[in-house]
Amino acid sequence: MKEISAIIRRDKLPETKTMLDELGYPSLTIQSVDGRGKQKGAMCAEMDSEMPDSYCTAVKLTPTPSVYALEHTLPKVALYVPKRMLTIVVPDDVVSKIVKSIIKVNQTSQHGDGKIFVLPIEDAVRVRTGEHDGEAIA
């Protein structure tokens, strides 16, 4: 079994859920997350599907001074972009299919398309019945 964690744009969530349903894997966990990539959250023009038009000028963030801030020149406050993180546990033989499908739905070729992480799962237990492994994720 593998755990697939995909961080995607918020507006791509409905399409991604529909795709997973069509593939036969409707069970997932969804979390609201904030983060930034190599662009350090600075590319407001790239975030138009994520943020309201007035976000770049309307948000007034005031950092709390820290020892680090007092010792370094901090040119600007880092913006964190709101995203959705989907977590799904699947059998090993469908990981590639699921990952390729998530990429197909979420790829816009622009900064901020997201990341996918695949991790091994040693065991899964359904709390209600005590079932293990494959029976627990089915």
The phi and psi torsions of 101 (rounded to 5 degrees) equal -70, -40
125 φ/ψ angles, rounded to the nearest 5 degrees: -130, 125
Which two three-digit tokens encode residue 118?
Answer: 């695949």
| Per-residue model confidence (pLDDT) at position 48 | 44
pLDDT in the model for residue 26? 94
Q: What is the H or E stretch that residue 81 is in? A: strand 81-90
**How high is the pLDDT of residue 77?**
61
Write down all domains in the chain, each with its CATH number in brackets. Answer: 2-137 (3.30.70.120)
pLDDT for res 46: 44
Please tell me the predicted confidence (pLDDT) of residue 52. Answer: 54
| All residues at 6 or more sequence positions from 57 whose CB lies less than 8 Å from its CB, including other chains | none
Residue 111: per-residue pLDDT: 84
What are the 10-residue block averages of pLDDT along the chain, 138 residues in total? Answer: 96 96 96 83 49 52 64 69 94 97 95 94 93 84
Q: What pTM, to 2 d.p., does this model score? A: 0.74
Query: Residue 40's pLDDT is what?
Result: 63
pLDDT of residue 73: 73
| pLDDT of res. 24 | 96
Q: Which residues contact 43 (CB under 8 A, 6 or more apart)?
A: 111, 112
The alpha-helical segments, DSSP class H, found in 24-123 are 55-58, 67-71, 95-106
